[in-house]
Amino acid sequence: MTGAFPITIYHNPECGTSRNALAMIEAAGYAPVIVDYRSAGWPGLLLNELLAAMGVRPREVMREKGTPAAELGLLDPSVSDEAIVEAMRMHPILVNRPIVVTPKGAKLCRPSEVVLSLLDRQPAQFTKEDGEIVRP
Protein backbone atom coordinates (compact mmCIF):
# COMPACT_ATOMS: atom_id res chain seq x y z
CA MET A 1 0.00 0.00 0.00
CA THR A 2 3.07 2.25 0.11
CA GLY A 3 2.85 3.33 -3.55
CA ALA A 4 -0.46 5.19 -3.20
CA PHE A 5 0.60 6.87 0.03
CA PRO A 6 4.39 6.66 0.36
CA ILE A 7 5.82 6.71 3.85
CA THR A 8 9.44 6.85 4.92
CA ILE A 9 10.50 6.43 8.52
CA TYR A 10 14.02 7.36 9.62
CA HIS A 11 14.20 4.71 12.30
CA ASN A 12 16.35 3.47 15.13
CA PRO A 13 15.30 -0.10 15.93
CA GLU A 14 16.83 0.22 19.41
CA CYS A 15 14.44 3.06 20.32
CA GLY A 16 11.02 2.21 21.77
CA THR A 17 9.45 5.42 20.47
CA SER A 18 10.72 4.64 16.99
CA ARG A 19 9.51 1.02 17.19
CA ASN A 20 6.07 2.20 18.36
CA ALA A 21 5.76 4.73 15.52
CA LEU A 22 6.71 2.06 12.99
CA ALA A 23 4.24 -0.40 14.50
CA MET A 24 1.44 2.21 14.33
CA ILE A 25 2.20 2.83 10.65
CA GLU A 26 2.09 -0.91 9.96
CA ALA A 27 -1.07 -1.38 12.07
CA ALA A 28 -2.75 1.19 9.83
CA GLY A 29 -1.95 -1.06 6.86
CA TYR A 30 1.08 0.69 5.41
CA ALA A 31 4.41 -0.80 4.35
CA PRO A 32 6.81 2.11 4.87
CA VAL A 33 10.33 2.52 3.58
CA ILE A 34 12.45 2.02 6.70
CA VAL A 35 15.79 3.81 6.86
CA ASP A 36 18.11 2.97 9.73
CA TYR A 37 19.71 6.40 9.65
CA ARG A 38 22.44 5.32 12.07
CA SER A 39 23.98 3.08 9.42
CA ALA A 40 22.73 4.88 6.30
CA GLY A 41 23.82 8.30 7.54
CA TRP A 42 22.53 11.55 6.10
CA PRO A 43 23.73 11.74 2.48
CA GLY A 44 23.90 14.96 0.48
CA LEU A 45 21.31 17.53 1.43
CA LEU A 46 18.80 15.03 2.87
CA LEU A 47 19.08 16.25 6.44
CA ASN A 48 18.70 19.90 5.39
CA GLU A 49 15.68 18.93 3.27
CA LEU A 50 14.07 17.10 6.18
CA LEU A 51 14.68 20.02 8.55
CA ALA A 52 13.11 22.40 6.02
CA ALA A 53 10.13 20.09 5.48
CA MET A 54 9.57 19.93 9.25
CA GLY A 55 10.07 23.69 9.64
CA VAL A 56 12.60 23.24 12.45
CA ARG A 57 16.15 24.20 13.23
CA PRO A 58 18.77 21.49 13.78
CA ARG A 59 18.92 22.09 17.53
CA GLU A 60 15.20 21.19 17.77
CA VAL A 61 15.86 17.63 16.56
CA MET A 62 19.26 17.14 18.18
CA ARG A 63 19.35 14.27 20.62
CA GLU A 64 21.47 14.92 23.68
CA LYS A 65 20.96 11.78 25.79
CA GLY A 66 23.19 8.88 24.78
CA THR A 67 25.05 10.89 22.15
CA PRO A 68 28.32 12.81 21.92
CA ALA A 69 26.48 16.17 21.84
CA ALA A 70 28.02 17.47 25.07
CA GLU A 71 31.51 16.19 24.24
CA LEU A 72 31.33 17.92 20.86
CA GLY A 73 30.33 21.22 22.49
CA LEU A 74 26.98 21.26 20.69
CA LEU A 75 24.96 22.19 23.77
CA ASP A 76 26.40 25.71 23.79
CA PRO A 77 23.64 28.02 22.45
CA SER A 78 26.20 29.88 20.33
CA VAL A 79 26.88 26.83 18.12
CA SER A 80 25.61 27.53 14.62
CA ASP A 81 22.96 25.52 12.78
CA GLU A 82 25.57 24.64 10.15
CA ALA A 83 27.93 23.24 12.80
CA ILE A 84 25.13 21.15 14.31
CA VAL A 85 24.11 19.77 10.89
CA GLU A 86 27.72 18.90 10.10
CA ALA A 87 28.05 17.11 13.46
CA MET A 88 24.79 15.24 12.74
CA ARG A 89 26.22 14.08 9.42
CA MET A 90 29.37 12.83 11.13
CA HIS A 91 27.43 11.31 14.07
CA PRO A 92 23.95 10.30 12.81
CA ILE A 93 22.89 9.29 16.34
CA LEU A 94 22.70 13.02 17.14
CA VAL A 95 19.42 13.20 15.19
CA ASN A 96 16.41 12.43 17.33
CA ARG A 97 14.04 9.76 16.07
CA PRO A 98 11.86 8.76 14.45
CA ILE A 99 11.37 11.23 11.63
CA VAL A 100 8.44 10.25 9.42
CA VAL A 101 7.70 11.63 5.96
CA THR A 102 4.36 11.15 4.18
CA PRO A 103 2.37 13.15 1.62
CA LYS A 104 0.89 14.98 4.65
CA GLY A 105 4.30 16.29 5.74
CA ALA A 106 7.34 15.45 7.82
CA LYS A 107 7.59 15.35 11.60
CA LEU A 108 9.74 14.20 14.44
CA CYS A 109 7.32 11.69 15.97
CA ARG A 110 7.96 12.12 19.66
CA PRO A 111 5.76 11.00 21.24
CA SER A 112 5.13 8.16 18.81
CA GLU A 113 1.42 8.92 18.37
CA VAL A 114 2.37 12.12 16.51
CA VAL A 115 2.74 9.77 13.53
CA LEU A 116 -1.04 9.39 13.38
CA SER A 117 -1.37 12.99 12.14
CA LEU A 118 0.73 12.02 9.11
CA LEU A 119 -1.41 9.06 8.04
CA ASP A 120 -4.43 8.94 5.72
CA ARG A 121 -6.01 6.17 7.76
CA GLN A 122 -5.64 5.15 11.37
CA PRO A 123 -5.32 1.86 13.18
CA ALA A 124 -8.52 1.11 15.13
CA GLN A 125 -6.57 0.99 18.37
CA PHE A 126 -2.93 0.51 19.20
CA THR A 127 -1.11 -0.68 22.29
CA LYS A 128 2.41 0.63 22.77
CA GLU A 129 5.24 -1.54 24.03
CA ASP A 130 4.71 -0.17 27.56
CA GLY A 131 1.02 -1.12 27.51
CA GLU A 132 -0.35 2.39 26.91
CA ILE A 133 -3.39 2.28 24.63
CA VAL A 134 -3.56 4.84 21.83
CA ARG A 135 -6.96 5.59 20.35
CA PRO A 136 -6.91 7.76 17.25
For the chain, the domains span: 8-62+96-134
d(CA 129, CA 20): 7
Check: CB of residue 113 under 8 Å from CB of residue 26: no
Find, among 4, 30, 38, 11, the residue nearest to 98 by Cα. 11
Contact 133, 127 (CB under 8 A): yes
pLDDT at residue number 35 = 97
Active site positions, annotated: 15
Residue numbers in the chain where pLDDT is lower than 50 = 1-2
62, β-bridge pairs: 95
* The pLDDT of residue 1: 44
pLDDT of residue 3: 65
Residue 113, pLDDT score: 94
The pLDDT score that the predictor gives to residue 11 is 97
Reply yes or no on domain 8-62+96-134 having CATH 3.40.50.300.
no
CA 19 to chain centre: 11
Residue 71, Cβ density class (10 Å: 0-12 exposed, 13-18 middle, ≥19 buried): exposed
Q: pLDDT value at position 123?
A: 87
